[in-house]
Amino acid sequence: MTTQTTTDRPIVLDLQDIHKNFGSLEVLKGVSLTAHDGDVISILGSSGSGKSTFLRCINLLEKPSQGRIFVGDDELLLTPKKGELVAKNPKQLEKLRSKIGFVFQNFNLWPHKTILQNIIEAPTQVLKIPKAEVIAQAERLLAKVGLSDKKDAYPDNLSGGQRQRVAIARALAMNPQVILFDEPTSALDPELVNEVLAVIKELADEGRTMLIVTHDMRFAKEVSNTVVFLHQGRIEEMGSPSEVFDNPKSERVREFMASHR
């Protein structure tokens, strides 16, 4: 696999022919996607189209049934087991996961740890960065997401929007090559959505590489350089926001866009 393109932007993530079966149900039917450094790729589609499953297959939160996964120059080594592909080398999986940030729909913060403790856990335990250095970085990240005053609070004392901003700071603390967002605003009250989207937009403006599963069409159009539309486990259409939103080629995409105006 080459890591250079005509734009000289290296490939950060390369997903080739990803399939996923749950028993006899084939949810993903061969999805391939390449993300270059600085790409912001929004993944759209109706419920059940395979969006979140695809995202979770990237770091083996769901184990694909078929396919290849490259992170930078490294291919994730996979081996078949009971109809799924599992990591051949757990240490390699841990290394590659450290390069892929994941922001969950429901935050997944540890309720018994303070906000600061949530953010410093992985860099100290996985990357073995000295604690004082990690704390200083965590404080900078909390300032970045507007939560400097919440470092000693616990997740249950925060609003949903604040918890999601903490989750973003926690992902950033690992300095990942790419960040995956799985419907980051769908669990939030409507008035809290914009505070999270503003942080994600700032990351996009900084040139962060991100894959975002979202139902927010306006945001996807504004923040993405590439939009992917999944339908029944396959990529139905892929292109720039203007192509997919304003001039879709697929009848299914046209119907979807018309229903979300």
Query: Each residue of 150-187: pLDDT tens digit?
Result: 999 999 999 999 999 999 999 999 999 999 999 999 88
Residues 6 or more apart in contact with residue 205 via CB below 8 angstroms: none
Residues 6 or more apart in contact with residue 120 via CB below 8 angstroms: 131, 134, 135, 138, 173
* Euclidean distance between CA atoms 54 and 62, whole angstroms: 8
- The pLDDT of residue 4 is 41
Residues 6 or more apart in contact with residue 149 via CB below 8 angstroms: none
- The pLDDT of residue 7 is 59
Calculate what percentage of the chain has a pLDDT beyond 90: 90
Query: Each residue of 10-50: pLDDT tens digit?
Result: 999 999 999 999 999 999 999 999 999 999 999 999 988 99
pTM: 0.94
Query: Each residue of 89-120: pLDDT tens digit?
Result: 999 999 999 999 999 999 999 999 999 999 99
